[in-house]
Amino acid sequence: MPTNAEIIHRALDRITAGYVFPDRTSSIDTSIRRRLAAGDYDGLEGPALCEAVTAHLQEACPDKHLRLLWTDEPQDLDPATEDEGRSAFLDLLRAENQGIRRFEHLDGNIGLIDIRRIACADEGGRAIGAAMELAALSSALILDLRACRGGAPEGAAMWCSYFFPDDQVHLNDIYDRRTDSTRQFWTIAHLPAPRYLDRPVYVLTSSLTFSGGEDVAYTLQAHGRAVVVGETTRGGAHPTARYAVAEHILVTVPTARTISTVTGTNWEGVGVAPDVPVPAGDALDTAHRAALRRLGA
């Protein structure tokens, strides 16, 4: 079992090598090493160590994706088999129905899809399509992202693609530090379910909505395709890689940043601001009433 110092050194090495803003890594490294030398992490183990280091990382650099994570599942520490956390994330998605908790048909022929994770487009595409197939004949649709904790950029682009008529909409870009390249995300040409066009769409958010969930909310809002109802989201816009630094501890390193083609920026640190601000617990009723009014029901 590595010592706390070894865990922290490994994490800082990963951050220095991969963080999307390299000019900030020196101050992060200095701050955490100073706390380590001062004994701030003495006696801390497991989740408590992760919590303390995460708080200090985000104090040194306010990026909510920059953190240590405890995982009950043992992680492979062999760099040769490292996949930046993708296998664990795919296993999680499989266990959670590709992030889709439920579909409900509300009064007034309004569909509701409860999304807890944004699945990868390849493995999750059929499940996303199945949910949109159930919603295909509704008169308005509500996407509930209040408990969505994140996911894959490709999956976010797939969800968004259903609300545009073709593959000609440039949704956003992601700049990757490791490759010094920018990847463009456009609407997808071929989808496994009908597109959802010319009907109202509402997106529900909370202060817990994060990362990939924020991507869907921000992108649909920026492109004028959905009304966001609820609370300002957590504010994490940087795609991350996950690296094992101990058998049960991962460091998440933001290696890229999202750039909206509409706003030229993203929701990092500020969150997605709702069009209709209401407490998260009231968001569904508020959106449902708004949809009924808009439909003249």
Q: What is the CA radius of gyration of the chain?
A: 20
**Token pair recorded at residue 286:** 């508020």
Per-residue tokens: 196: 């959802």
pLDDT at 103 over 80: yes
Q: What average pLDDT does this structure show over 261-270? A: 95
Handedness of CA 263, 269, 272, 278 (dihedral sign): negative
Q: Judge whether residue 78 has pLDDT over 90.
A: no
What does pTM read for this prediction?
A: 0.87
Predicted pLDDT at 150: 92
The residues, ordered by sequence, that sit 6+ positions from 59 with a Cβ below 8 Å of its Cβ are 31
d(CA 159, CA 212): 11
Cross-strand bridge partners of residue 252: 67, 242
Q: Does domain 96-236+271-295 have CATH number 3.20.20.80?
A: no
For the segment 221-229, the average pLDDT, to the nearest whole number, is 98
In tens, the pLDDT along 112-128 reads 999 999 999 999 999 99
Nearest-CA neighbor of 117 among 232, 9, 211?
Answer: 211
pLDDT at 79: 62
Write the CA distances from 87 to 20, 44, 98, integer angstroms. Answer: 23, 28, 14
Residue of 105, 100, 85 lying closest to 14 (CA atoms) = 85
For residue 178, count other CB atoms closer than 10 A to its CB.
12
Question: Which residues are 228's β-sheet partners?
Answer: 203
pLDDT score recorded for residue 241: 87
Burial of 78 (0-12, 13-18, 19+ CB in 10 A): exposed
Other C-beta atoms within 10 Å of 296: how many?
6
pLDDT of residue 129: 98
Least confident of 86-90, 126-130, 224-228: 86-90
Instruction: Please report which confidence band the pLDDT of residue 74 belongs to, taking 50, 70 and 90 as the band edges.
Output: confident
Question: At a CB cut-off of 8 Å and minimum separation 6, what does 170 contact?
Answer: 184, 185, 186, 261
pLDDT tens across 236-261, in order?
999 888 899 999 999 999 999 999 99
Task: Check whether 1 has a pLDDT greater than 90.
Answer: no
pLDDT digits (tens, 9 = 90+) for 132-177: 999 999 999 999 999 999 999 999 999 999 999 999 999 999 999 9
Distance (Å, whole) CA 34 – CA 5? 12
Average pLDDT in the 8-37 region? Answer: 96
- The mean predicted confidence, pLDDT, of the chain is 94
Burial of 285 (0-12, 13-18, 19+ CB in 10 A): exposed
Q: How confident is the model at residue 87 (pLDDT cuts 50, 70, 90)?
A: confident
- Confidence (pLDDT) at 86: 78
Domain limits, the chain: 4-80, 96-236+271-295
Determine the pLDDT at residue 81: 56
C-alpha closest to that of 230 among 214, 207, 211:
207
- Helical spans, DSSP H, in the chain: 4-18, 25-37, 46-60, 86-95, 121-135, 153-161, 212-222, 280-295
Sign of CA dihedral 217, 222, 228, 234: positive
Tens of pLDDT, residue by residue over 273-292, are 999 999 999 999 999 999 99
